[in-house]
């Protein structure tokens, strides 16, 4: 009996938190993953780079809930690889720096599973760097030493007399709760009380906060500042470089929460990043294509019956043509039809396929589309309107007053709940400053995810893409701080930029 060959396991470093601080190889591995096993402290945006079909398994610690024990993680990786899958084990920072990557790798190697390591940017170096602290400097430190401050998992504690002898920079991970133990230990071993110390929490994220002091006062200062883990402690003269090299904290980019469907978040995230914002992806809705429904099948089979094809979203265009071609349609059958698009983005999507929209209203709202299009229709016309199942407006009655309209459902929009706690943290921790709502469904999604408690939104500016979305926000008790003048993602970006510069 021959056994199938096991799949490969990639031990991939995700970097310290900032989305951009992953390697190209790491990102490629994520994009090819069939199974993605990840910890806490991983930038969410990275998870959405995996294909939709990727099985994503979270094995990190949650507040109430304990992490999957290490032997079970090892076994999980092994079993997934045995089934022939390409497995990506995504770890914070570098997989081999206090990441137990070594244990996982050996477990797999002993069982004949091929393993490839993609090193990552470790927080032990990037954290200090983002706080303006070089870990070495010719004048102050010719070595740096990274320690774990978590003694539960380690066989040995720290040998403070040895540490105090070292001339180089001392860096402690996982030591947040043990900060007093570390400072007392070093002082007790004779390290000068005036030795500079920095503690960097949530390094490289929008929540990064740094407190500096000395071995004698850092603990009190950290307590007063209310820092929370994860944090890195840096001990040594290099800490003083921060005065000149602190590039990140003063130039913090405003965080923008992206609530739309995960697959559609990347282009918006790229636009925001380009414009100087920091996108944070946390979808509250999911677009579910309905496939070739009997109505759609009938419309496609009888496409010659229609004189107008009307699209109310870029999604509608993509999904309609996907089904049209899959059902054996040929673009030449559409040669005699006229096309209408609700706005620029929808028209641009049509243009990509090779169709110029015959009608695009000046104002990108369904009322304008309805009125403008109705003025061009006669009783001899026949309109096909392939769109979202939750579309709910006066478009159909206005058009139907003139001619036959077939309103065909292409996709449903489902609310994704269950991420309430995470969203609350994003909204209240300083990670996010703006929340753009790009559809009424994102308003419902966030409202439901937060269990109807909108208080976390007091800390941020809510932005509406247009009047329909703004209306839904007000109905739920949420006042838009800004509303886009042009009702598109470009329009949202424009008001965000104005507000950032104001």
Which residues are tagged catalytic?
Answer: 39, 61
Please report the beta strands in 253-347, taking only residues with DSSP state E, as ranges in sequence order.
255-258, 278-281, 285-289, 308-311, 338-341
DSSP string, 444-463: HHHHHHTTT--GGGGGSEEE
Closest C-alpha to 14, from 25, 22, 24? 22
CB of residue 119 to ligand SAH, shortest distance in Å: 9
Number of residues that bind ligand SAH (CB under 6 A): 26
Among 87, 232, 377, 463, binds ligand SAH (CB under 6 A): 232
| 93 lies in the binding site for ligand SAH (CB under 6 A) | yes
Half-sphere exposure at residue 86, Cβ-oriented, CA atoms within 13 angstroms: 13
CA distance to 7, 199, 284, 376, per residue, from 423 (Å): 35, 26, 10, 46
Cα 33 to Cα 80: distance, rounded to the nearest angstrom: 12
Closest contact distance (angstroms) between CB of 153 and ligand SAH is 10
Taking the least distance from each CB to ligand SAH, the nearer of 203 and 399 is 203
- DSSP of 106-133: HHHHHTT--EEEE----HHHHHHHHTT-
- Site residues for ligand SAH, 356-395, by CB under 6 A, read none
Cα–Cα distance measured from residue 131 to residue 458, given in angstroms and rounded to the nearest whole number: 29
Span interacting with ligand SAH, options 227-235, 250-258, 328-336, 376-384, rule CB under 6 A: 227-235
Which residue in this structure is represented by tokens 């001899």?
380
Q: Which CB sits closer to ligand SAH, 94 or 406?
A: 94
Among 203, 345, 384, 496, the residue binding ligand SAH under the rule CB under 6 A is: 203
Minimum CB separation of residue 327 from ligand SAH in Å reads: 49
Piece of the chain touching ligand SAH by CB under 6 A; list 229-237, 286-294, 421-429, 449-457:
229-237
Number of neighbours of residue 139 by Cβ within 10 angstroms: 8
According to the binding rule CB under 6 A, does residue 255 interact with ligand SAH?
A: no
Among 185, 230, 255, 456, contact with ligand SAH (rule: CB under 6 A): 230
Q: How far is the CB of 99 from ligand SAH (least distance, A)?
A: 4
Nearer to ligand SAH, 14 or 449 (CB): 14
Give 127 or 436: the residue with its C-beta nearer to ligand SAH: 127
- The residue from 131, 173, 396, 484 that contacts ligand SAH (CB under 6 A) is 173
- If one asks whether residue 97 binds ligand SAH (CB under 6 A), the answer comes out as yes
105: contact with ligand SAH by CB under 6 A: no
Smallest distance from ligand SAH to CB 92, Å: 5
Q: 149 vs 480, which CB is nearer to ligand SAH?
A: 149
Asked if 92 touches ligand SAH (CB under 6 A), the answer is: yes
Q: Which is nearer to ligand SAH, 148 or 318 (CB)?
A: 148
The three-state secondary structure class of 276 is coil
Q: Do 157 and 184 form a contact (C-beta atoms < 8 A)?
A: no
210 near ligand SAH, judged by CB under 6 A: no
Residue closer to ligand SAH, measured from CB, 93 or 436: 93
Cα of 351 vs its chain's centroid, Å: 29
Backbone angles phi, psi at 210, to 5 degrees: -125, 135
**Token pair recorded at residue 444:** 């419902």
**Structure-token match 């946390």, residue found:** 282
Residue 81 interacting with ligand SAH (CB under 6 A): no
- As a whole number of angstroms, the distance between CA 89 and CA 274 comes to 29
Closest by CA to 324, choosing from 296, 357, 345, is 296
Asked if 98 is part of the footprint of ligand SAH (rule: CB under 6 A), the reply reads yes
The continuous run of DSSP H or E covering 410 comes out as strand 404-415
> Shortest gap between Cβ of 203 and ligand SAH (angstroms)?
3
Q: Does 41 bind ligand SAH (CB under 6 A)?
A: yes
Could you say which of 127, 343, 436, 445 contacts ligand SAH (CB under 6 A)? 127
Q: Using CB atoms, what's the residue nearest to ligand SAH? A: 93
Residue 94 interacts with ligand SAH (CB under 6 A): yes or no: yes
3-state secondary structure of 255: strand
Rule CB under 6 A: choose which of 17, 105, 185, 445 binds ligand SAH: 17
Residue 251 C-beta-side C-alpha neighbours within 13 Å = 8
Residues 6 or more apart in contact with residue 138 via CB below 8 angstroms:
none
3-state secondary structure 3-43: CCCCCCEEEEECECCCCCCCCHHHHHHHHHCCEEEECCCCC
204 binds ligand SAH, rule: CB under 6 A: yes
- CB-based contact 201:231 (threshold 8 Å): yes
Task: Find the shortest distance in angstroms from Cβ 273 to ligand SAH.
Answer: 19
Among 88, 174, 287, 350, binds ligand SAH (CB under 6 A): 174
Nearer to ligand SAH, 148 or 417 (CB): 148
89/202 with CB nearer ligand SAH? 202
Cis-peptide, bond into residue 106, ω within 30° of zero: no
Task: Answer yes or no whether residue 219 interacts with ligand SAH by CB under 6 A.
Answer: no
Q: Which residues sit at the interface with ligand SAH, rule CB under 6 A?
A: 16-17, 41, 91-94, 97-99, 122-124, 127, 173-174, 200-205, 229-232
């Amino acid at each position: 009996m021959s056994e199938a060959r096991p799949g490969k396991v990639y031990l991939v470093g995700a970097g310290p938190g900032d989305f951009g601080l992953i390697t190209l190889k790491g990102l490629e591995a994520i994009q090819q993953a069939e199974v993605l096993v990840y910890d806490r402290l991983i930038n969410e945006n990275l998870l959405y780079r995996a294909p939709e079909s990727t099985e994503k398994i979270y094995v990190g610690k949650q507040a109430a809930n304990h992490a999957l024990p290490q032997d079970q993680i090892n076994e999980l990786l092994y079993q997934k690889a045995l089934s022939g899958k390409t497995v990506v084990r995504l770890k914070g920072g570098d997989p081999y720096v206090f990441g137990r990557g070594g244990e996982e790798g050996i477990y797999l190697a002993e069982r004949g599973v091929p393993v490839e390591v993609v090193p990552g940017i470790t927080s032990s170096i990037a954290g200090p760097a983002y706080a303006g602290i070089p870990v070495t400097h010719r004048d102050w430190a010719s070595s740096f030493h990274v320690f774990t401050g978590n003694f539960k998992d380690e066989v040995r504690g720290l040998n403070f007399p040895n540490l105090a002898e070292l001339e180089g920079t001392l860096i402690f991970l996982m030591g947040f709760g043990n900060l007093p133990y570390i400072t007392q230990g070093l002082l007790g071993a004779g390290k000068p009380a005036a030795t500079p110390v920095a503690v960097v929490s949530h390094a490289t994220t929008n929540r990064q906060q740094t407190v500096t002091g000395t071995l004698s006062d850092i603990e009190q200062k950290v307590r007063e500042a209310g820092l929370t883990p994860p944090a890195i402690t840096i001990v040594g003269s290099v800490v003083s470089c921060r005065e000149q090299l602190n590039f990140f904290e003063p130039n913090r980019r405003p965080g923008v929460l992206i609530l739309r469907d995960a697959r559609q978040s990347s282009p918006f995230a790229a636009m925001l990043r380009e414009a100087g914002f920091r996108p944070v992806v946390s979808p509250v809705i999911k677009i579910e294509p309905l496939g070739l429904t009997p109505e759609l099948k009938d419309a496609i089979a009888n496409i010659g019956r229609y004189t107008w094809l009307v699209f109310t979203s870029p999604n509608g265009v993509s999904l309609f043509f996907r089904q049209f071609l899959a059902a054996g349609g040929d673009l030449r059958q559409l040669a005699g039809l006229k096309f209408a698009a609700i706005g620029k983005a929808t028209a641009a999507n049509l243009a990509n396929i090779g169709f110029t929209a015959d009608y695009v209203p000046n104002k990108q709202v369904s009322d304008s589309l309805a009125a403008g299009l109705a003025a061009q229709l006669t009783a001899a016309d026949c309109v096909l309107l392939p769109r979202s199942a939750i579309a709910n407006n006066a478009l159909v009655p206005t058009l139907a007053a003139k001619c036959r309209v077939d309103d065909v459902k292409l996709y449903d929009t489902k609310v994704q709940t269950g991420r309430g706690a995470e969203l609350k943290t994003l909204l209240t921790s300083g990670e996010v400053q703006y929340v753009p709502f790009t559809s009424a469904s994102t308003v419902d999604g966030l409202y439901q995810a937060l269990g109807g408690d909108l208080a976390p939104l007091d800390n941020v500016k809510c932005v509406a893409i247009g009047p329909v979305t703004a209306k839904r926000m007000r109905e739920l008790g949420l006042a838009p701080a800004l509303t886009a003048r042009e009702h598109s993602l470009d329009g949202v970006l424009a008001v965000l930029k104005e507000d950032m510069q104001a």
